[in-house]
Amino acid sequence: MTKVLVTGGCGFIGTNLIIKLLNDRKNIVINIDKFSAPSNNFLVKKKFKNYHYYKFDLLNKKKITSIIKKVKPDLIFHLAAESHVDNSLEDPIIFFNSNVISTVNLLEALRKNLDKKFKFIYIGTDEIYGDLSLNSRKSFNEKKSLDPNNPYSASKAAAVMMIKTWNKNFQFPSIITNSVNNFGPFQFIEKFIPRSILLGIKNKNIEVYGKGGNIRSWISVKDHVDALIYLSKKGKIGETYNIASGHKLKNLDLAIKIKKILNHKGFNTKVKFVADRLGHDRQYSINFNKILKLGWKPKTLFDLELNNTINWYLDKKNIQNFKNTKYHLTRKGIN
């Protein structure tokens, strides 16, 4: 049996990762999650064999140490993080504490209480590389220097530097991953795709920042968690891997895709331009040849997965999985 520790397992990517991990009966999954506003209770409500949930904050160093000593994990996926750029513009300190200090606490608990036979997989973001001009055809590979542009990406970049330091100085067995934007079931409503869907369901306008020309790359969460598990088996310790699928869209074009699907399903929604985000990054684009050469490749079709995602949010029972069921769709980070 492989003991797999997942931090932030009640979040969007964490929930999807744990569901896939539990499909393998050889895995025992331990989930640590403080259960914050974006969390969902899908894994809390249902009972799964070989699954254990511990509710606490990674800022609690004593609790982390106690769990590590008790569980002695073979594999760790570190996903726990504050992740919304708009929120980071409103309260950067929370992002520093959750994304940097918590990561260091976990690194030290593992380093001091386990031998070097475990693997530590860090789930990062393409935003740490900075952005490109809208007409650029470049893409950043894993050797690109870090150049974050907002408190969220700065905190994720700081965590990456900590992990690299632990790997170099303490031979800490880590692998760093940087993914493009994810979409799929269990994503909290504050993010662009679910927020657009829920505004459309209410027959309100789908809001697009600025003129909608900002470009993002997207990957189905199914492909992302598949890549993470693949790297846990095939990835090389000390290396960084970009994870993407090749689906790149202007925000306006994505909003139009969502609008058309919702219109086809009987919802009367339109696209509306709203005030731009502070310091809104123009284009994210990463090169993911490294993981392709390792043997992994994305499997899902973007338009099909987008339709499946919209259907998931149309089911009111799924919305009830979120802790914050009395959600509001007010945007943040504009002043």
Q: Catalytic residue numbers?
A: 126-127, 152
Query: SS3 of 272, please?
Result: strand
Report the alpha-carbon distance of residue 235 to residue 45 in Å, rounded.
Answer: 33
SS (H, E, C) 48-104: CCCEEEECCCCCCHHHHHHHHHHHCCCEEEECCCCCCHHHHHHCHHHHHHHHHHHHH
Report the alpha-carbon distance of residue 152 to residue 218 in Å, rounded.
Answer: 18
Report the alpha-carbon distance of residue 12 to residue 35 in Å, rounded.
Answer: 12
Query: SS3 of 46, please?
Result: coil
If one counts every other C-beta atom within 10 angstroms of the C-beta of residue 234, the result is 12
Report the alpha-carbon distance of residue 45 to residue 41 in Å, rounded.
Answer: 6
Tokens coding 189? 């409503």
Determine the length of the chain: 335
* Close Cβ partners of 104 (under 8 Å, ≥ 6 residues apart): 162
Pairing of strands 247-250, 215-220: antiparallel
Distance in angstroms between the alpha carbons of the first and the last residue of the chain: 50
Q: Which sign, positive or negative, has the C-alpha torsion 146, 331, 12, 95?
A: positive
Report the alpha-carbon distance of residue 255 to residue 281 in Å, rounded.
Answer: 18
